[in-house]
Structure 1
């Protein structure tokens, strides 16, 4: 299992970038989109990742280090 929260954060960033209605055509547009998404992510996703960490750890312990839903 991957307990590295930054990996989950990057995955969510990627998902949100791909869902944008307007295609990104320039580096400046990409940077603007990333900054906007980051502001949104900081509040909801980061808190969720931290709040669910005890559950993640307990699931891995119960699975003896094997597969978990995370």
Structure 2
């Protein structure tokens, strides 16, 4: 289990519970790099929805806007994210799991 130093995970009560249940806890940096490229795609989608002439005012409108903007996302940009993974992993290894430009 990873706790990322979240206070609700690091309280004495939580620590005691993990110990009693024999759950091993992984050490995890509080601001470890997010290597998940989908986060960048979500950000592109979020920007596209927020820059629409008419912002969604209901869940139904939001769902429709998300679907429309997802269909318009630049496939080359997504491909570029995918192609960047080897560089991302290399940077992460060089940083020994610390901060990277990604």
TM-score (norm 2): 0.58
Specify the SS of the correspondent of 1:15: helix
Structure 2 portions without partners, runs of 5+: 1-32
Alpha carbon RMSD of aligned pairs, Å? 1.8
- Matched residue, 2:100: 68
After superposition, the C-alpha distances for 1:8-62 in whole angstroms (9 at most, x for unaligned) are 2222221221222212123332122111111122613321210111111111122
Say which structure is richer in helix: 1
Q: Which structure ranks higher in relative contact order (CA pairs < 8 Å, sequence separation ≥ 6)? A: 1
- Give, in whole Å, the separation in 2 of the partners of 1:58 and 1:6: 18
Count of matched residue pairs: 70
Larger radius of gyration: 2
- Give, in whole Å, the separation in 1 of the partners of 2:72 and 2:87: 24
TM-score (norm 1): 0.77
- Matched residue, 2:71: 39
- Matched residue, 1:55: 87
